Amino acid sequence: MTAVPELAVRSVSTRGFRVPMRFALGTSAAEVRHAPLLTVDLATEEGPVGRAYAFGYTPAGVRAVALMVAEAAEAIRGMAVAPAALAPRLARSHALIGVTGLVRFALSLLDMALWDARAVAAGLPLCSLLGAAPRPVPAYDSRGLGLMPPARLAAEAAELAGLGLGAVKLRLGHPTLAADLEALAAVAGSLPAGVGIMADYNQALDRTEALRRGRALEAAGGGRLVWLEEPLRHDDLAGAAALAAALDLPVQIGENFNGPGAMAEALAAGAADLVMPDVARIGGVTGWLQAAGMAAAHGIGISSHLMPEVSAHLLCASPTAHWLEYVDWAEALLREPFALRDGAVAVPDRPGTGMVWDEGRLARLETL
């Protein structure tokens, strides 16, 4: 085990930014053209700074999480940078309001920043501090392919294919099954052979329609479909279990898991063939490590949801690592954006997560 210098929390600061997205995300729930991002800087008394960021979904979400981060940071000021010990303390201090939603986001961001500070102090990449070597992590492109006409989907899929990643995510949930199948055909026809497709419904279907569309996608996918993501409401574990049992196409859920306990419930219910926790909802690095252990115990693949710069390190340290979800939104923040090589995100051999803010770029962004 690598020795980490003793650190104490000095201060925590946040900033919110509205980042233009190259590809709009048109989902069954909303269309998103700008990424509201919240950055966190955790300064220590000894000098090392831990950094983290998260996608806040809406500008109001970013501002609300920032307030929660500030409040939680006061509770750990002066304390040792020991995330595994601080996580239950912070959870207990927020028990009355409930550790869910925006509170979970805030505590997860603090946890990520604490771990980053420790890795920076140790002079190690975060994945190395977690016991794994930096390596390229296979990634799929999740930046576009929203609900749009087939011709636009075909053109956008061809553009995305130029990045060279091994798969792309297609948002489905059109008013009719026929429209979903047209969308799938348009995307598949514009991608090189061997590039997979993740079908994401963003919780748009009821149980009957999920089974009908799932079976139709299985028949039409031609082996290109990697998984069927969130076809049902995220908390309908019984429905997801029935769907997973009925389909050969793997059912993927997990971006809405509220902490490792929620993932444990889903696995106990047999609600998924694959899981994809969100590091900002699962409990930061500390929560992810628990989730990765559960995935390994059940022998199922674990993928990430957003924040690829942090998630890549975590997948390096996950025994059943599957796919990294790639978006380029944080490039607007970073001095050195992560490199893509041969269909994978290259985890940098830099201390911590390797994220350092580019203040010149930040100054050009709209603040929240």
Average model confidence (pLDDT) across the chain:
96
pLDDT tens profile 313-356: 999 999 999 999 999 999 999 999 999 999 999 999 999 999 99
Residue 222, pLDDT > 90, answer no
Q: What is the pLDDT of residue 29?
A: 66
Where does the pLDDT of residue 163 fall: very low under 50, low under 70, confident under 90, or very high at 90 and above? very high
Q: What is the pLDDT of residue 25?
A: 80
Q: What percent of the chain has pLDDT over 70?
A: 99
* Domain CATH code at residue 300: 3.20.20.120
Q: Is the dihedral of CA 260, 214, 308, 255 positive or negative?
A: negative
User: Within 13 Å, how many C-alpha atoms sit on residue 98's CB side?
Assistant: 4
CA distances for 356 relative to 55, 175, 200, 362, angstroms = 17, 43, 32, 11
8 A C-beta contact, residue 320 and residue 348: no
Domain boundary among 86, 107, 123: 123
Distance (Å, whole) CA 196 – CA 169: 9
Structural domain that includes position 294: 128-360
Residue 344 pairs with which residues in a beta bridge? 138, 341
Q: What is the mean pLDDT of residues 262-266?
A: 98
Shared domain for 203 and 180, answered yes or no, is: yes
Residue 1, pLDDT > 60, answer no
Residue 171 pairs with which residues in a beta bridge? 200
Shared domain for 135 and 247, answered yes or no, is: yes
Shared domain for 99 and 137, answered yes or no, is: no
CB atoms within 10 A of CB 312: 29
Q: What is the mean pLDDT of residues 80-93?
A: 95
Q: What is the mean pLDDT of residues 50-71?
A: 97
* Inside any domain, residue 320: yes
* Domain CATH code at residue 86: 3.30.390.10
Shared domain for 201 and 337, answered yes or no, is: yes
Distance (Å, whole) CA 97 – CA 100: 9
pLDDT tens profile 20-57: 999 988 776 677 889 999 999 999 999 999 999 999 99
Distance (Å, whole) CA 146 – CA 54: 21
Q: What is the mean pLDDT of residues 129-136?
A: 96
pLDDT tens profile 282-315: 999 999 999 999 999 999 999 999 999 999 999 9
Q: What is the pLDDT of residue 28?
A: 67
Q: What is the pLDDT of residue 214?
A: 98
pLDDT tens profile 181-209: 999 999 999 999 999 999 999 999 999 99
